[in-house]
């Protein structure tokens, strides 16, 4: 068992030594310059006109929503009056009479 562990350890050391750069002793890193990298760091900051446009568009959207909630609240509450439930009869509610036998 000890010999099998030694073989595995030898292979591991061989792989780690062969993957290192012989000159500097540092692993090679693939560098691609195709786009901005934002892994664990902030991406590029948007331009001023894009940030201002986003703020203006968001402000207009909230103005639109709140204006119409205040002036056209019937979209939420409904257009018609709510009926008075105390005026409903037992027959309308589906309640059988007191003397009903099954």
Cα→Cα distances 100→35, 80, 95, Å:
80, 36, 10
Residue 100 above 80 pLDDT? no
pTM (whole model) above 0.85:
no
* Cα 81 from Cα 78, distance rounded (Å): 8
Top-confidence residue, 10 or 1:
10
Q: What is the reported pLDDT for 54? A: 97
Question: Mean per-residue pLDDT for 37-62?
Answer: 89
Q: pLDDT for 11-49, tens place per residue?
A: 888 877 776 545 555 667 777 777 766 677 777 789 999
What is the dihedral sign for C-alpha 19, 23, 26, 29? negative
- For 20, the 3-state DSSP assignment is strand
Q: What is the reported pLDDT for 57? A: 98
> In terms of residues, how long is the chain?
102
Q: What is the reported pLDDT for 7? A: 81
Top-confidence residue, 32 or 72:
72
* Cα 72 from Cα 64, distance rounded (Å): 11
């Amino acid at each position: 068992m000890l010999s099998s562990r030694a073989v595995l350890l030898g292979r591991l050391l061989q792989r780690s030594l062969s993957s290192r750069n012989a000159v500097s002793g540092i692993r090679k890193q693939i560098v691609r310059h195709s786009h901005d990298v934002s892994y664990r760091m902030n991406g590029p900051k948007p331009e001023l006109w894009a940030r201002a446009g986003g703020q203006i568009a968001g402000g207009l959207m909230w103005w639109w929503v709140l204006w119409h909630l205040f002036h056209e609240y019937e979209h939420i509450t409904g257009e018609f009056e709510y009926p008075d439930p105390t005026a409903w009869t037992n027959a309308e509610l589906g309640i059988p009479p007191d003397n009903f036998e099954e």
